[in-house]
Amino acid sequence: MNMNTPLEGMKILDVSTMIAAPYGAVLLGDFGAEVIKVEIPGKGDTLRHVGPFAEGEPLRWSGLSRNKKSLTLDLHKDEAKDIFKKLAGQVDVLIENFRPGTLEKWGVGYDVLKEINPQLIMIRVSGYGQTGPFKDKAGFGTPATAFSGFTYIQGFPDRHPVSPSFSLTDYIAGIYVAFATVTAMYYRDTHSEGTGQMVDLALYESVFRMLEFLVAEYDKLGKVRERSPGLSGHSSPAGTYVTKDGHYLVLVTSTDSTFNRLAEAMNRLDLLENEKFAVNASR
């Protein structure tokens, strides 16, 4: 049975590499968009050379490249630039994550492509944005995670900060890529004056957006959040605990009703009568 997909008819030119931007493109492909993946001749996407591997094949590659068509172009060459411009004239969205200014240096920046296709939406992913003092720095997820402030608060108070054990920021940024794409498409297609636009998305911003309450906490309370292994300061108990029989238990009591059930399960209803534990603010 043939089923229509939500993004059927959307055409995307994906000239990005590694994880963040390609992940956004693959999410759009999952929902029916036609995604054309452009790689460097002879080398391919850098992700092809990143582990883990099985029988010489990169395991991440298939997950981040599914539902994509493929071709190679060397944008240093005029013929490739002409092909690239023709493709850009036929798609709705172009997704890229070169260092800011790279496409402009090659003569295929947003202003040039917008002349060819006024309806084009360009999603630009970088480490620290298209403008500003750090725009020329290479954009990798691990440093961007630290720059956002996330790394500083991860781990135990008496030990060094801990980075996520996988490419967390890249994947979060990829979700923003997909969200920004459909938002820009919606605006373009539902407003009488709607047109293409350029989206500037920095890796660190995707995580910093999720730490907004820490900004408010510092502004109103003057508090700098330090490292904590759990949900310190807003839910208690919360975290990972060792059981009597040597297993690990993860729990969170974000509401008082949840803590009430926990106290009952532990046969400690007396805690509910103790002002130190009765409500979450006290705990």
* 82-to-21, 34, 68, 74 alpha-carbon distances in Å: 23, 21, 22, 11
The residues annotated as belonging to the active site are: 170
Residue 14 host element (H or E): strand 11-14
Measured distance CA(163)–CA(145) in Å, rounded: 8
Instruction: Report strand pairing: 198-202 vs 121-126.
Output: parallel
CA-based nearest residue to 60, from 142, 145, 167, 147: 167
Measured distance CA(274)–CA(90) in Å, rounded: 68
Cis ω for the linkage preceding 52 (within 30 of 0) = yes
